[in-house]
Every structure is written in structure tokens, then in C-alpha cells.
Chains A and B, each alone.
Chain A
Amino acid sequence: MAMLHIVNKSPFERVAFDSCLTHANAGDSIIMIEDAVVGAVDGSSFSGKVKAAMADKTVYVLGADLAARGLDGKAMDGIVSVDYAGFVDLTANNDTTQSWL
């Protein structure tokens, strides 16, 4: 059962993102939206954990939220940028979703 994990809090402010990575299974998808998109930036103290997750999970980021924070082009390689329609597709294509508020 593939699950989509939705994270919306900065990993530098709360442990929700970290907890999500700990509990996501191989084959799951993770999408960063709102303040969580700061976790997509390469070279941060959190990027290693996201890279490790990408070994067996697919990681997405909502492009509009990245651009709003001036972080366009700073996401690490392998993270897939999607628009709102792509986000909807992800929720439809997974069996379940879980929001890490």
C-alpha cells in the first residue's frame, strides 16, 4: 500500500518532518508544501536525511511554495517539483495520505 506523506512544517522548527522520514516505508512518496519546502534546499543540516530517504522513496516539492521563499533552483537533485495539479494527482495515485502537521 503506497502512501503519500504530506509535510508542511520546517524541519528546523519542528520535528514533524523528521518524524515523517522515520515512519515512511520504502516505496512511499513524500511531498513538501508550505514551510516544509525549506527542507528541499541542498547543503543544509537536514539535507542528508532527505537524501537518505530518497534511496527508496520518492520526494516531491510544491514548486510554488519553493518560489515564494526565494528558493527556486536550490532544491537538491532527485527531488521532483510539482504544481498544484501534480499534487492532486499524487493524492489520487496513492492508496492513502498522511499529513504530518
Chain B
Amino acid sequence: MTTKNFLFVNRKAPYGTVYALESLEVVLISAAFEQNVSLAFIDDGVYQITKGQNSKGIGMKNFSPTFRALGDYDITKLYVSSESLAERGLTVDDLMELTYEDADDDYAEKPSIILVDAKGMAAMMAEQEVILSF
């Protein structure tokens, strides 16, 4: 199977619309087909990975724990827009601790979240072969 660099760009808050959940489903499917998958969280997309989400009160499934499984799927690069966090009064400390085990480094646990500015995000996007936006 041909392996390509896939980037999923997430720009919507979770729960209010179905985009965030649908994106995550396609991410998992792409990874199951052993594609090289990265994720970007821009604009309201940063709310998808905030810590302490509790959706019991709105009667919807809290799917944020699934982001912690991405390391098992060899998805190790989650790019987060630093400007988007700042505009929303958030810092990286408000996000879940998402990690992966590096098979090339004795399975050491390493952070998956990469904080980048718009310039860094643009440069990363330029290296992708397939970009899917949600």
C-alpha cells in the first residue's frame, strides 16, 4: 500500500457540531491503513483537546480520551496553533497531556503536542501530501 503524509486540520470546537468527532473517526481509519498521519489544531479546534472535559450534563459521549490512544496508532505529531490558544485565553497547560512511546528510543514516553506559530504551521502544511480539513 502506498503511504502518504496525511494532515487533518481541526478548526471546530467539539460537541456543538459533529465535525470534531467525524475527523477523529477518519483519523483512526487512516491510521489503521498505515498512513503517515499528523493532526493540526487551529482556531476553535484547540478546544477539542482541553483537559477535564465532562460531557455528562449534555448527554453526549466524551470522546476526548480517544486522543490519548493516538500514540498507539503511531500518530505522534499533534500541531497546536500558539496564536489560537492565546486568543482564547488558554495555554498549553489547559490541554491534555498527550504522549507516545518512541520505539526508536527504548519506548521512552514523549509529548505528542507540538506548539507552533502560524509560520511554523504553514511550513509544516507545505510538507503534506493530503490535507483534510474539518
Contact = CB atoms under 8 A, between A and B. Distances in A.
Query: In the complex, is A directly touching B at CB under 8 Å?
Result: yes
Interface of A: 8-10, 12-13, 34-35, 38, 41-45, 47, 63-65, 67-72, 74, 83
A35 B17 contact: yes
A47 B53 CA distance: 21
B89 A8 contact: no
Interface of B: 11-17, 43-44, 47, 50-58, 60, 62, 64, 87-90, 94
Given A35-B16, A68-B53, A12 B58 contact: no
B88 A41 contact: yes
Contacts of B90: 41, 44
A39 to B, nearest CB: 10
Given A38-B88, A42-B89, A69 B47 contact: yes
Given A12-B87, A35-B44, A45-B87, A72 B52 contact: yes
A31 to B, nearest CB: 15
Contacts of A64: 56-58
A72 B52 CA distance: 8
B52 A68 contact: no
18 contacts: A8-B16, A9-B16, A10-B44, A12-B43, A35-B44, A42-B89, A44-B89, A47-B89, A64-B56, A65-B58, A68-B15, A68-B53, A68-B55, A70-B47, A70-B53, A70-B54, A70-B94, A74-B94
Contacts of B54: 67-68, 70, 72
Given A10-B16, A42-B89, 9 more contacts: A9-B16, A35-B15, A38-B47, A44-B90, A45-B87, A65-B58, A68-B15, A69-B53, A70-B54
